[in-house]
Chain A
Amino acid sequence: MLEIKNLHVKLEEEDKVILRGVDLKIGPGEVHAIMGPNGSGKSTLSYVLSGRDGYEVTEGSATLDGQELLEMEPEERAAAGLFLAFQYPVEIPGVGNMTFLRTAVNAQRKARGEEELSAGDFLKIVREKAKTLKIDAEMLKRPVNVGFSGGEKKRNEILQMAMLEPRMCILDETDSGLDVDAMKLVSDGVNALRDGKRSFLVITHYQRLLDHIKPDVVHIMAGGRIVRTGGPDLALEVEQNGYADILNEVG
């Protein structure tokens, strides 16, 4: 599914290196978690994969089912099946949430040579999916993320993911700012999308999200590298001892 090889990234405008050789391979249906201290480069990895401006890849590659992602426009990556749930979802005044969702769904269908959804069909699907995420009609009408609470923004990200049905989902700190109930809603939303083929890369600070979304593999990122990889137990180890031991060990 997703294969990242020796990825080196620096800021475009400054001589600041952020990723220093990331290797990662995620198979179909797998759930991988990336944990790591603040500033270790987790969000940068997710942005570089989805094609945000401002970063320069100096070495390495990232492929989705063999297709080189790094040469595509962000919208092409999305159409190829990549999705990023943002750590900080963006507010777009003046664009209704519903218009946004419909434009996105139909743009991807068009890019894949599929027919656009009729207004009626689209509405039916959105309403159904919104309901399970406890997103009410009012939130669908409001401008994208404007005036949404932190939890509402995160649920809105999951709604987009559910509507777009990507094959490779990256979730960047989707748990941050969520209370226990919201965490459960979001996790249920994610788990509902697990179908044995769709893959997930879950970026998080805390083990608690991983109680709900059970990872197959856990990576620890530090200083722009993946410094350790293990099973679900690795997350528990971090939870108990913090990152210090691992970082010391790596040097």
Chain B
Amino acid sequence: MALPKAKEDALAARLAALPAVEGKGWLAAARSEALARLSAMGLPGRRDEYWRYTDPASLNAPEAPVARRFDASDEAAPFDGIDRVRLVFVDGVFDAAASDDPALAGVTIERLAEAGRRDIHWAQGLYGVLEARGQTPVARPFAALNTGFASDGVLIHVTGRAAKPVSLVYVHEAETSDAILHHCVKLDPGAELTLLENGPAAARFSKVLEVEVAEGARFHHIRLQGRDHERRAVTHIFARLGAGAEFRSFTLTANGRLTRNEAVVELAGAEARAHVAGAAVGDGDFHHDDTVFITHAAEACESRQVFKKVLMNGAVGVFQGKILVKPGAQKTDGYQISQSLLLDEDSQFLAKPELEIYADDVKCSHGSTSGAIDETALFYLQSRGVPRRTAQALLVLAFLAEAIDEVADETIAEDIRARLERWLARHGSRG
């Protein structure tokens, strides 16, 4: 089906501004297929069902809007004390000198830019494959664009239990940097890996992460999106889980003019578990969108979506979350909660929680709320001598607790709480 003229022009302009990507063999094939997908769907517009709450204009624009980098050196870099394999990208360009030697027992790590030059590679079975599967029933044009034009990324094959996490560090330098990274992680049966990501990455950042978690394998993902106020990001996680596999992903977002984080998870083997969680705090010019789609395609799987947002001074939060239970996916246990704490009347939360169930023996619950801080609790704390600001921070952290509890590593969870406390102290709302 042909695209409307306006959509066609917008896509042509966007594509014309993209730098040419090199690559032959398998990667070139995957890219051209992605381009075909993108050409068929076009770039998103406000009238598309999953873009009603978030304006894609700045992501559609041929040039990345200017975003100054933010100096976050007043606090230690995330994951500082953790023994990990660090791989650094500056404005989307791999920085070998700043990175660790990617040697890790049970894990092979390669750069997409290098692996893509080969004729055949294991990543052929993953790169763009989960992304393509994730295009139905909901189109995700920016993911296809990413597959077609990613300049680099990492390909991680995990055959055993990784002794330490792999840590991707994204540095934002240039005011108009426009980074496109695409990572693939393949975990063999029983393998385990923790992937850490942090940093604002670029003025505009597009990232796709495809993860294949085989039977009994475990993948933990913790992401801190940096403190830049002006950056924009559109990210996708596509995951597919085998029997008994575990997938856990947590994202902390503080600041950022625009963030669209999509997670598309398919529970394909029995008794697989997927937890996707996020805590977002925004003050002022902040728009944060979590769009999640979880498919239960096998029996006795568990999924949890826990998303909490704290919004002030006109910040906007969006949650679009769906649980699809396919025929035959009996004994599904699905849970979804999305809540916002609005610290003033200027901020808003838009939520679209959805359940679609085609099996009868299923336990699914979902809830979405937005509300102000509990003034009675605030007064109770103050009456015990706790200053209003401290009391407010305590209540805000209590509100976020359920999301942060999804971080399995207690040291990291504690660090995240401390970061949020400092953020709240800096942004402490009026009153």
Contacts of A160 in B (CB 8 A): 384
How many pairs of A and B residues are in contact by the CB < 8 Å rule? 78
| Binding stretch for chain B, among A60-68, A101-109, A200-208, A226-234 | A101-109
Q: Is the Cβ of A51 less than 8 Å from the Cβ of B382?
A: yes
For window 97-152 of A, CB contacts with B under 8 Å fall at 99-100, 103-104, 107-108, 111, 143
For window 397-419 of B, CB contacts with A under 8 Å fall at 397-399, 401-402
Given known contacts A78-B383, A86-B380, A94 and B398 CB-to-CB distance under 8 angstroms: yes
Q: How far, in whole Å, are A52 and B383 apart by their CA atoms in the complex? A: 8
Q: Is the Cβ of B386 less than 8 Å from the Cβ of A104?
A: yes
Count class of interface residues, chain A: 20 to 34
Contacts of B386 in A (CB 8 A): 75, 103-104, 107
**CB closest chain-A residue, reference B384:** A104
**B350 contacts partner chain A, Cβ-Cβ < 8 Å:** no
Given known contacts A53-B375, A95-B398, A90 and B387 CB-to-CB distance under 8 angstroms: no
Question: Of A84, A90, A103, which one neighbours B394 at CB under 8 angstroms?
Answer: A103
Among A73, A74, A95, A164, the one with the most B-chain Cβ atoms within 10 Å of its Cβ is A74
Q: Is the Cβ of A51 less than 8 Å from the Cβ of B383?
A: yes
Q: How far, in whole Å, are A94 and B403 apart by their CA atoms in the complex? A: 12
**CB closest chain-A residue, reference B375:** A53
Given known contacts A53-B375, A95-B398, A107 and B380 CB-to-CB distance under 8 angstroms: no
**A222 contacts partner chain B, Cβ-Cβ < 8 Å:** no
User: Shortest Cβ distance from A26 into chain B, in angstroms?
Assistant: 19
Contacts of A187 in B (CB 8 A): none
User: Shortest Cβ distance from B414 into chain A, in angstroms?
Assistant: 13
**A174 contacts partner chain B, Cβ-Cβ < 8 Å:** no
User: What are 19 A-B pairs at a CB distance below 8 A?
Assistant: A53-B375, A74-B382, A75-B385, A75-B391, A77-B383, A78-B382, A83-B383, A90-B379, A90-B380, A92-B374, A92-B377, A93-B398, A94-B397, A94-B398, A100-B394, A107-B384, A107-B385, A107-B390, A160-B384
- A residues with a Cβ closer than 8 A to B are 50-53, 73-75, 77-79, 83-84, 86, 89-95, 99-100, 103-104, 107-108, 111, 143, 160, 164
- B residues with a Cβ closer than 8 A to A are 374-377, 379-388, 390-391, 394-395, 397-399, 401-402
